[in-house]
Amino acid sequence: MSLRSAVRFVKPFRCVWKPSDGAPRRGYAAMADARAILESELEGIRVAGTWKGERIITSKQGPRINVDGSRGTILNFCANNYLGLSSHPEVVQAGVDALKTYGAGLSSVRFICGTQDLHKNLEKKLAEFHEREDCILYASCFDANAGLFEVLLGPEDAVLSDELNHASIIDGIRLCRAKRLRYKHMSLEDLEVRLQEAQSSRMRLVVTDGVFSMDGDVAPLEGICDLAERYDAMVFIDECHATGFLGARGRGTDELLGVMERVHIINSTLGKALGGAAGGYTVGPKPLIDLLRQRSRPYLFSNSLPPPVVGSSTRAVELLLASNQIAQSMTAKTMRFRDKMTEAGFTIAGSAHPICPVMLGDARLASLMADDMLKLGVYVVGFSFPVVPKGKARIRVQISAAHTDQDIDRCVEAFIQTGRKHGVVS
C-alpha cells in the first residue's frame, strides 16, 4: 500500500489521551487555578487603566501610516524611527538585495555556520561610525545588555548603575556577580559616594543610559567621565535613543557632550534610527569584543541576524557616514514641537531631545487622550506603570526627521483640542 493510500484511512485525531488514574483531572484543576490567578491579574490591570492594547498598522512604518479601524492616513508620532530610515528607498532596497543574495536566514548561531561577510562588514562600519576598535552584533540591544556584564565583571568588581536605567541593563547587571551599587538618577554627588564605596574593587564600571527613553533626559556624561577618571573607573553607555541623530555627526550622546574618547563601551541598537528592523551591538576595546565572542551567552546561543536586516542596517550606517544632513535636521523640528506645546500649557519633560513626554500623571487620562488623538488622525500612545512610575503617566511623543513643520503643527493642534476636552489645558 502506498503512503498516499494509507493516509486515506487515518481519521483526524482530536481527543487527548487520558490515563485512568485520575491524573488528568488533577492537572486540569491546577491549570484552572492558574487561569483564575492570571485572569485576576489581568482584571487588575484593566481596572487600573494601565491596559496596553496593540493597534494594528496596515502599512509600512513612517511619518504617515494606516491603522486598522481608522479612516485615511494617520500621522505617526510614536515611533523610534528618528531619521525616517525605516522605509527609506535605499535602505529597503539594500534589504531586498541581501535577501536575494544571502537568503532569509542562517539557521544557526555565529560560531557554527552563521557568520557571513555582510555581518563582518556591518561590524566594521559600526566600529568606524562610533570610532571604536571593534564591534559585535546581537539579535537585539536587550541581548547586548544581557550579554555584557557577566562576561566583563566578576565578584571582585563593582558596577555602578543609574537607578532609572533601562530594564535590559537592570536585567543584565543581575546576571553578573559583581558588587552592585545604584546611584540616584543623574546625580553626580551620589555617584561619587558610590564610587568611594567601590574603591576596594578590582574594576569599577559606571553604567548609564545616554538618553533615558521615558523622559528624554540626557545623562551628564562630562561629569560622569570626570568622576570615573578621578576614581579609576570605566564608563558604559546605552545609546539606543541617541545613535544616528545626537551630536554634530549623529554619533550619539558622547559626541554631543564632547566625551567620545572618554566613554569606553557603548551598546546600541539597529532597531531605531539605523533602519528600524532589529539587532543590537557592542562597540569598544578589541579584547573585550573578542572575549564576548567567546563567552557572551546571547551571542553564542542565538541565531545570527538575518541577512535582510543586516543589509538594511548597513545601508543606513553608510548614509550617516556619508552625510550629517539628516541628523542636523532634528533640532529645529524638536524645538518647534516643544515650544508650541509649552506655549499651549502642556508640561513637556526632558530637554532638546526628540523624545517629548507630555506629562499627564493619571494612567486612564493618558490612555483616553491617546485614543481621542487617534480619532483626530494622530497616532500616539499613553505610557503608564510599570513602564513608567505610578503617578507619572504620559503620552510620549517622538519627533522624526521625516515629519514636516505642518505635521508638527497638526499634532500640536490635536493635543490642544484633546487637552481642552479632558481639562488638561484651557
Residue 227, classed as helix, strand or coil, is helix
Please provide residue 357's backbone torsions phi and psi, each rounded to the nearest 5 degrees: -75, 120
Given the residues 272, 333, 353, 403, the one annotated as active site: 272
390 included as an active-site residue: no
Of the listed 88, 241, 264, 353, which one is catalytic? 241
Catalytic: 264?
no
Residue whose entry in the numeric block shows the C-alpha cell 567567546: 294
Task: Copy the grid coordinates of residue 57.
Answer: 498598522
User: CB count, 10 Å around CB of 350?
Assistant: 21
Closest CA to 188 of 228, 224, 215: 224
Distance CA 49, CA 392 (A): 13
CA distance readout (Å), 396 to 19, 64, 382: 54, 17, 7
Given 86, 161, 201, 213, the catalytic residue: 213
Nearest to 228 by CA among 185, 198, 266: 198
List beta partners, residue 361: 393
Q: What is the DSSP string of 143-205?
A: HHHHHHHHHH--TT-EEEEETT--HHHHHHHHHS-SEEEEE-TT-HHHHHHHHHHTTTSS-EE
Would you call the peptide bond into 287 cis, given omega within 30 degrees of 0 as the criterion? no
Residues recorded for the chain: 426
Active-site residue numbers? 213, 241, 272
